[in-house]
Amino acid sequence: MRAVFLKRAVQQHYKSQGYQANFPRNGIHVGNCFIDGEVRVGVFRMAVELKSDRDDMLRGLGQLLEALSYDYDQALLVTSQSRAERLDPKVFNASGIGLAVINSKGEITFIAEPKIVKF
């Protein structure tokens, strides 16, 4: 599944809930890395990393952990349903990073809800 499809589905989901979704073309510079986007409401910020079927999942987790250390309140990893089936949700529950799955219809499902994490 392509990152453009994932981005569009996440934007539609959060905009329908009244959040402001920001996904710049080159990403958002956070520390020594770039994250794909962020979701805001008031002073609350959530880092979002989109991973297609060919992207490095471990690199995405590292980017989200760095975003959490740079004053983001929550972190969310978004991937396709087939890719998420190969992941262990215990990792996400223990770290507080959320895991969301996008199916072929563009519907988002949360396997692990993101938790507010402050380092």
The pLDDT tens digits for 59-88 are: 999 999 999 999 999 999 999 998 998 999
DSSP letter at 27?
-
Q: Report whether CATH 3.40.1350.10 matches the domain 3-112.
A: yes
Q: What are the structure tokens assigned to 116, written together?
A: 């507010």
Per-residue pLDDT band for 57 (boundaries 50, 70, 90) equals very high
d(CA 67, CA 45): 10
H-assigned helices in 1-119: 3-16, 57-69, 81-84, 89-95
Q: What are the structure tokens assigned to 40, written together?
A: 């805001």
Closest CA to 115 of 91, 88, 95: 95
